[in-house]
Amino acid sequence: MTTLHMADDRTDTPSIVERIRPVSAGGPVVAVHYLKQAAAFVFGEETVLLVSPDGNERRVNVHTGAILSAASDGERLITGGDDGKVVAVDADGGTTTIASDDKRRWIDHVAVGPNGAVAWSAGKTAYAHAGKGETRALDVASTVGGLTFAPKGFRLAIAHYNGATLWFPNVQTPPEVLDWKGSHLGVWFSPDGKYLITTMQEPTLHGWRLADRQHMRMSGYAARVRSLDWTASGAFLASSGSDQLILWPFDTKDGPTGKPPKMLAPQKAALAVVACHPKQPVVAAGYADGLTLLVRIDDGAEILAKRPGAAPVTALAWRADGGALAFGCEDGEAGILDF
């Protein structure tokens, strides 16, 4: 048995697995976010499970079919479903339907921005709502691959085929298009707003330094990169897509250009999900065999957070104070580690 073998291999790794508080998810977990003190486990279909600090579990129905996308600002969870709805869930389990697509198209992507801003997309159309006022819509040339808000202001980045579009929904100026050939599927701003990074269909990341639109190509991955996160200081961009944790240095003005990434925590299984500690230079890394490690960036020290299981880790989230880590897996295994 591979799993047992893996577990035996890690007798030298300090472990905190005994701190896991299992959560009875009961279905594949596709995302997890913290809403204030409550962990919100998002399932592949219909339901969000809220777990409060005292362990109280509460199920909230948000969609009638698949939950296709989820995003959070730490206060609210926004989900998009194949029922054409965009739904907001708060830490107490209250739900609000933010939008319903009139043709019941799939809501492929959602994003949450500063001051209550929300964005979503259906096909080639991106929608943005500032929290008050009208919903604005923008059609891009091809299906939206991903959405993210700039860290400040009401500005949305839309990833699509052959590049990304930067859009100020409440300003008349035409959207700015950043070109790069290929299909861009996910999009992230750096915390300082200076860089825009996309994940691509190819096993590579693309980046633009927004000041001068200089391109950055971050390649060498074994598989399509699906999970990215910035470290608390913004010094590193952590990524999946390999069998180890890949950290691109962003601590100088040139970003990672010409520099090799830091590579930590190599494993036999592919790295599936990364989540950076909100304060410390530590990354939670969830692998395709269910293993989860806490990796210290400075020296690569590892702590075993969860042993390998039957299915890949699909979701990881830190509580805002760094005092808890929630995880979810494809087979419904889920839990919370308290520190």
Strands 236-239 and 245-249: antiparallel
Shortest distance, position 226 Cβ to other proteins, whole Å: 7
Residue 2, C-beta contacts closer than 8 angstroms, at least 6 positions apart: 268, 289, 308
Instruction: Choose between 198 and 231: whose C-beta lies nearer to other proteins.
Output: 198
Query: What's the rounded Cα separation, in Å, for the pair 265 and 246?
Result: 9
Query: Minimum CB separation from other proteins for residue 145, in Å?
Result: 8
Considering the complex, what minimum distance in angstroms separates the CB of residue 183 from other proteins? 5
- Measured distance between the N- and C-terminal CA atoms of the chain, rounded to whole angstroms: 31
The two tokens of residue 141 are 């040339």
Alpha-carbon span 142 to 63, nearest angstrom: 26
DSSP 256: T
* Structure-block tokens of residue 246: 């890949």
- Residue number with CB closer to other proteins (83 or 229): 83
Nearer Cβ to other proteins, position 43 or 250? 43
Total H helices, total E strands in the chain: 1, 29
Taking only Cα atoms into account, the Rg of the chain, rounded to an integer number of angstroms, comes to 19
196: exposed, middle or buried (C-beta count within 10 Å: 0-12, 13-18, 19+)? buried
Q: What's the min distance (Å) between Cβ of 86 and other proteins?
A: 15
3-state secondary structure of 109: strand
Q: Cβ closer to other proteins: 164 or 297? A: 164
Structure tokens at 67: 């939950």
Q: For the CB of residue 229, give the shortest distance to other proteins in the complex, in Å.
A: 19
Residue 121 CB, shortest distance to other proteins, in Å, is 11
Q: Which is nearer to other proteins, 30 or 305 (CB)?
A: 30
Nearest to other proteins of 44, 300 (CB atom): 44
Shortest Å, Cβ 96 to other proteins: 22
Instruction: Confirm if 62 and 103 have CB atoms less than 8 A apart.
Output: no
The torsion angles phi and psi of 199, rounded to 5 degrees, stand at -95, 145
Contact residues toward other proteins (CB under 8 A) are 28, 30, 44-45, 65-68, 82, 106, 108, 123, 142-143, 161, 180-183, 200-202, 223-224, 226
State which residue, 13 or 142, has the beta carbon closest to other proteins: 142
